[in-house]
Structure 1
Amino acid sequence: MKMLKLPSVEEPQSMSAMTDVVFLLLIFFIVTMSSYIEMTLLETNLPTSAGQSSKIDLQNHLKIELTEKDQYVINGIVQNRASLNRLLRRYARLMPEAEFLLQCDPEMRHHTLVTLLGDLSKYGLKNIKLLK
């Protein structure tokens, strides 16, 4: 019994499935990293509703507001003390010469300000300015 040998024919492989997977992975990583990028030092000066850019350079300044409810508002975003400490540690490591602009509500407790000043001192951050 003789076996017939079939000629080998290579089928062309389509790359469309591979490109779909690559684009899906790219979209996944962009979406998952967007929240991380927002909390890093890569902040941008976005225009305000009046069409003017913000007055404070967020790369060299960090504005921390202390509210009457003992909350920390960092560049307009309410943060807890743990996230504030992570941010201060990052500034101490990457930008130790950055300025910290503190704005205190007149009705806040002094303990919150003293705690914040202690955290700034713990990380060796010394460029502190108080705003009215």
Structure 2
Amino acid sequence: MAALVGGQGQQLGDIESNVASSNAMNLNVACSQAEENGFSDLVPATGTEEEVREILQQTSLKLVDDHLVEFSEALRTVAKALRRVAEGKAIATAEAAEWKRKYELERARNLQLKMLASIIWK
């Protein structure tokens, strides 16, 4: 049983070693990609993984903020256009109501004239 536990301890140590080397490799890849993309001044040469994560997170938050600002401006533009459309519709509806009122008045006047003419000509 002790040999089994000792063997598992060795395997656990190997796994931890592999994870640490994998993290170091990921950090190196991230640093080289940052340098390729023009962010070499953002990644300190002696930076820890946590510092790099923080810098990358701040950069991604800045990009998200930029997108949110752009999206907000687009929504304001759409809202302005919708307000103009609603105002135009309200004006058109009011104008249509006015023309309908004039039409009904003219129609009523014509009916009265016809009735008056029919009475006079009898």
TM range (shorter): 0.3 to 0.5
**Whose RCO is larger (CA < 8 A, sep 6+)?**
1
| Structure of larger gyration radius | 2
TM-score (norm 2): 0.32
Query: Whose strand proportion is higher, 1 or 2?
Result: 1
TM-score (norm 1): 0.30
